[in-house]
Amino acid sequence: MQATTAADLFAAPRFRPGVQLIEEHNGLTLDYREQSCSVVADSQGALKAFVDSLRRGDTSIPELKRRHPELASEVDGLLEEFDRLGLLTESAFPAPRGCLSGEEFYHRLRKFAAETIEANSTSRLYQGCATARCRRAR
């Protein structure tokens, strides 16, 4: 059985609203609610650029690795740890294809029902009412 990775879970990860970044002399601390995570990096500029990409959330995981080659080998591990702590969410949701709004579904259903009734109704009463030969008595 293969373990699920962050790459399997996210198309374009981003930090959840409310994640606060605190710069320190040797890295960054990420605070969210009652938990925090400290990240230490050799190149603080590369780490800050990576975190800024996650803050924007407009980048896929392969693109994150291309944009931040200094951290490419650590991206998966960082994302898995951030996800484990509940710091990440998805920012790119695919637009559903073939879906209808409730109103459009209602209109199509009414049209389908009317066409089905008309095609299957053979009584003289229905045919008379459908062609307006049948009038209500006043």
**Strand partners of residue 29:** 22, 38
pLDDT on residue 16? 92
Residue 45's closest CA among 21, 76, 68?
A: 68
Cβ pair 69, 45 in contact under 8 A: no
pTM (predicted TM-score): 0.63
Q: Quick one: 74 and 113 in the same domain?
A: no
Q: Does residue 82 sit in the same domain as residue 17?
A: yes
Mean pLDDT split into 10-residue runs, the chain, 138 residues: 71 92 87 88 84 90 92 90 91 80 94 90 79 63
Tally the domains of the chain. 2
Residue 52 covered by a domain: yes
Same domain, 24 and 82: yes
Enclosing domain of residue 66: 6-90
Give domain status of residue 15, yes or no.
yes
Q: Is residue 1 part of a domain?
A: no
pLDDT of residue 47: 87
pLDDT at 36: 86
